[in-house]
Amino acid sequence: QKEVEQNSGPLSVPEGAIASLNCTYSDRGSQSFFWYRQYSGKSPELIMSIYSNGDKEDGRFTAQLNKASQYVSLLIRDSQPSDSATYLCAVGLNNDMRFGAGTRLTVKP
């Protein structure tokens, strides 16, 4: 079983729509959860972090965490073409930060 799993996509949404990205993790003791965005040929950059159950909103981005279900998601409202990128889910546990394979998102004008 993979430690961090994401749908690889590609996920395609029209401009202005809501994009929903999902991630599951295997280690129940995981303590911190992150969403990174990676443009093609570039390094990952952090867009959201979440540490406790529930929702966390930052502008057009909302992260949702459900530790009982071992599930974390990212919603992007009013999607823009500039949001087109690969989104990496990352899970932290003590020394480790493990990444999912990423979901490629395309926002069509």
Partner 1 sequence: NAGVMQNPRHLVRRRGQEARLRCSPMKGHSHVYWYRQLPEEGLKFMVYLQKENIIDESGMPKERFSAEFPKEGPSILRIQQVVRGDSAAYFCASSPGLPSTGELFFGEGSRLTVL
Contact residues for partner 1 (CB under 8 A)?
6, 31-32, 34, 42-46, 49, 88, 90, 92-102
CB of 15 to partner 1, least distance (A): 24
**Strand partners for 50:** 33
Nearer to partner 1, 14 or 42 (CB): 42
| CB of 75 or CB of 92, closer to partner 1 | 92
Coil, strand, or helix at residue 63? strand
Q: How far apart are CA 72 and CA 42, in angstroms?
A: 24
- Written as one letter, the residue type at 5 is E
Compare residues 17 and 67 and give the one whose CB is closer to partner 1: 67
Least distance in Å: CB of 10 to partner 1? Answer: 11
Query: Residue 86's closest CA among 33, 28, 31, 43?
Result: 43
Q: Which is nearer to partner 1, 6 or 62 (CB)?
A: 6
- Range 52-60 contact pairs with CB under 8 angstroms and sequence separation of 24 or more: none
Q: How many residues appear in the chain?
A: 109
- To the nearest whole angstrom, how small is the minimum distance from the Cβ of residue 16 to partner 1? 28
